[in-house]
């Protein structure tokens, strides 16, 4: 462990804002990249479900 306390870990010397901003932005983008295809898949399946219901009720 290269930090003595949690507060020191958050502070990252004097570079805390930069380090945490980088990690925050990157993790947000990575999360977005995972979420978008999953959401798209759900939406597609919902559309298909609706289409199937329409065809069954015909």
Partner 1 sequence: MNWTWFHKWGSPKWFYEMSGRWLPWLSVAAVLLMAVGLAWGLAFAPPDYQQGNSFRIIYIHVPAAFLAQSVYVMLAIAGLVGLVWKMKLADVALQQAAPIGAWMTVIALLTGAIWGKPTWGTYWVWDARLTSMLILLFLYFGVIALGQAITNRDSAAKACAVLALVGVVNIPIIKYSVDWWNTLHQPATFSVVAKPAMPFEMWMPLLLMVLGFYCFFGAVLLLRMRLEVLKREARASWVKAEVRMQVEKGL
Point out which residues bind partner 1 (CB under 8 A).
1-3, 9, 12-16, 18-19, 21-23, 25-26, 29-30, 32-34, 37-38, 40-42, 44-46, 48-49, 52
The pair of three-digit structure tokens given for residue 47, joined into one six-digit string:
């559309």
Is residue 53 left, alpha or beta, with left meaning phi > 0 and alpha meaning psi from -120 to 50?
A: alpha
Q: Which residue has the tokens 């990690």?
A: 23
Task: Tell the smallest beta-carbon distance from residue 22 to partner 1 (Å).
Answer: 4
Task: Tell the smallest beta-carbon distance from residue 3 to partner 1 (Å).
Answer: 6
Task: Tell the smallest beta-carbon distance from residue 58 to partner 1 (Å).
Answer: 16
16, 10 in Cβ contact below 8 A? yes
């Amino acid at each position: 462990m290269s930090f003595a306390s949690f507060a020191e870990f958050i502070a990252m010397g004097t570079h805390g804002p930069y380090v945490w901003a980088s990690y925050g932005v990157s993790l947000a983008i990575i999360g977005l990249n995972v979420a978008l295809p999953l959401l798209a898949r759900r939406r597609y399946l919902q559309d298909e479900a609706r289409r199937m219901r329409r065809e069954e009720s015909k």
